[in-house]
Amino acid sequence: MAIITRFAPSPTGRLHVGNLRQAIHNWLFARRHGGQFWLRIDDTDAARSREEYVDAIHADLAWLGLTPDGVERQSARLARYQTLFDQLVASGHIYPCYESAEELDIRRKILLSRSLPPVYERTSLHLSADEHAAKQAAGIAPHWRFKLNHDAPILWTDAVRGEQRFDPRLLSDPVVRRADGSWLYLLPSVIDDADMRVSHVIRGEDHVSNTASQLQMFAAIGAPTPNFAHTALLTGAEGKLSKRLGALGCDEFRAAGIEPESLIAKLARLGTADPVEPLIDRAPLIASFDFGRFGRAPARFDMGELETLNARIVHQLDFAHVAPRLPQGMDAAAWQAIRPNVAHVAEAADWWAVVEGAVAADMVDADDKIFCAQAAQVAAQIIWGEDPWHALTDALKASSGRKGRALFLPLRRALTGRDHGPDMAALLPLIGQARAVERLEAAAAR
């Protein structure tokens, strides 16, 4: 079977971390099985869909490096939906309804008060031809429901959730089209999945009950049913579905200095039995991607954990990968030296300022001033080769008798204006002899 997945966002807002995770799952599964990953823009809701969000979806996928093998748009397929809709009306699978939202709400409440399932009672299905005519004469435009087959139990084996069974009698016939002619998501999605020959519908478990009715729609249009994988949803660190997660998207991650590699490594494995690892290479993430490894419990998304993972990813990034984001003049050696000390690429600029710019001389203790004067002299005299730090500290060890912290800390403070930082052996060649001597003299003279 040809493997085809699709990521099907509605362009009614920015993608949030839950959507991004779905995109990543669809991409990984397609790559794992040598299949295709499609992007489908679900923009049947003309009032709420916006072109800027379509652009943002493309930009977000590009930032993550999830290149779709093809793109579909529902707004370009309305004629196709109409054709199948007409057929389904003719075959009795879709029927017109006239109840107002208020009427439906009252019926639901009555059923609930009698401890009955709040299911649509098919009142409109049973109207006579005269009653239909009367509704139409009264100018009431119908909305349309898909008639579930009550005699066909709904069963499927979900790749994550296992055996799923729904009694169609306990489901309301879903509304597929509004009175103004606009489409709800359910039927167009089925028509698209059939036409696009989607083999695996991979989405969040909030769609499980949609799947139940969509399975009957596939049957009604004579299409084979795809496989389904419904993953447990994400929760915030506080253990419940949070608004914060819904507002967390690529822009926020990028602004926080999170690398796309970190997000992929995290979201590929979150909620699975496999450990989240700082993997830059996608090959092992693809190779290990398996719905059998997914748990049923909601997966906790923790920004702090993502930050930790991100730092470990940043420590592995090549110069070429980050070069466009580094300050002018910072070269591969500088990135190599500084990389272990930054959690975000942008912080490299702070350390580059330490290499190039002015440093505070007053970090050095008064007791260390004479030592710094001595160090300035040694620094001016040693042969400044490949490894000036060891040349400098070896000479000073011998002449001052200092060792360990007493030897190294005053030098670090005088040379960088800080207590901590990148390995001095890597940093000192970047600082260079002239600046080093100047800084040691400044510390001695403070």
The footprint of ligand GLU (CB under 6 A) covers: 8-10, 42, 185, 189, 203, 207
Least distance (Å) between residue 119 CB and ligand GLU: 23
Residue 419 near residue 381 (C-beta atoms within 8 A): no
Least distance (Å) between residue 7 CB and ligand GLU: 7
At residue 281, φ and ψ (nearest 5 deg) are -75, 130
Q: In terms of CB distance, is 23 or 64 closer to ligand GLU?
A: 23
Q: In terms of CB distance, is 114 or 243 closer to ligand GLU?
A: 243
Least distance (Å) between residue 19 CB and ligand GLU: 7
Q: In terms of CB distance, is 185 or 352 closer to ligand GLU?
A: 185
In the beta sheet, which residues pair with residue 158?
Answer: 162
Least distance (Å) between residue 353 CB and ligand GLU: 44
CA 317 to CA 336: how far, in whole Å? 9
Q: In terms of CB distance, is 203 or 269 closer to ligand GLU?
A: 203
Residue nearest to ligand GLU (CB): 42
Name 326's Cβ contacts closer than 8 Å, sequence gap at least 6: 334, 335, 345, 348, 349, 352
Residue 63 near residue 31 (C-beta atoms within 8 A): no
C-alpha separations of 363 from 281, 351, 366, 420 in Å: 42, 17, 9, 12
Least distance (Å) between residue 40 CB and ligand GLU: 8
At residue 40, φ and ψ (nearest 5 deg) are -120, 120
Q: In terms of CB distance, is 4 or 391 closer to ligand GLU?
A: 4
Q: In terms of CB distance, is 189 or 199 closer to ligand GLU?
A: 189
In the beta sheet, which residues pair with residue 96?
Answer: 144
User: Maximum distance among all alpha carbons in the chain?
Assistant: 110
Least distance (Å) between residue 269 CB and ligand GLU: 21
Q: In terms of CB distance, is 246 or 421 closer to ligand GLU?
A: 246
Dump strand ranges (E) for 314-402: none
DSSP SS3 for 372: helix
Least distance (Å) between residue 186 CB and ligand GLU: 9
Measure CA 170 to chain center. Answer: 35
